[in-house]
Amino acid sequence: MKKLTAILGTAILCSITATASAAERPDIYVVKFRADDCAACKIMEAQLDDALGMVKSNKVELVTIDSTTPLKWEASAHKAFDRNFVPQFNNWVGLTGFVAVIDRQSRQTIGCVSDNQNKFKIANFIKSAANLPHDQTVSNHTGQFKCPPVFNVDPGE
Answer CATH for 25-145 from 3.40.1710.10, 3.40.50.2000, 3.40.640.10, 3.40.30.10: 3.40.30.10
pLDDT band at 4 (very low <50, low <70, confident <90, very high): very low
Mean of per-residue pLDDT scores for the chain: 83
pLDDT average, residue stretch 55-81: 95
pLDDT average, residue stretch 100-112: 95
Q: Give the pLDDT score at 137.
A: 58
pLDDT band at 117 (very low <50, low <70, confident <90, very high): confident
CA gap 99, 113 in Å, rounded? 5
Q: How does strand 98-103 pair with strand 28-34? A: antiparallel
CA gap 58, 7 in Å, rounded? 33
Longest dimension (CA), the chain: 66
Decide which of 139 and 28 is more confident: 28
CA gap 116, 118 in Å, rounded? 7
Q: Write down the pTM of the prediction.
A: 0.79
- Between 39-55 and 119-129, two packed helices, what is the crossing angle to 10 degrees? 60
pLDDT band at 87 (very low <50, low <70, confident <90, very high): very high
Helices (H), the chain: 2-24, 39-55, 70-83, 86-92, 119-129
Contact 148, 95 (CB under 8 A): yes
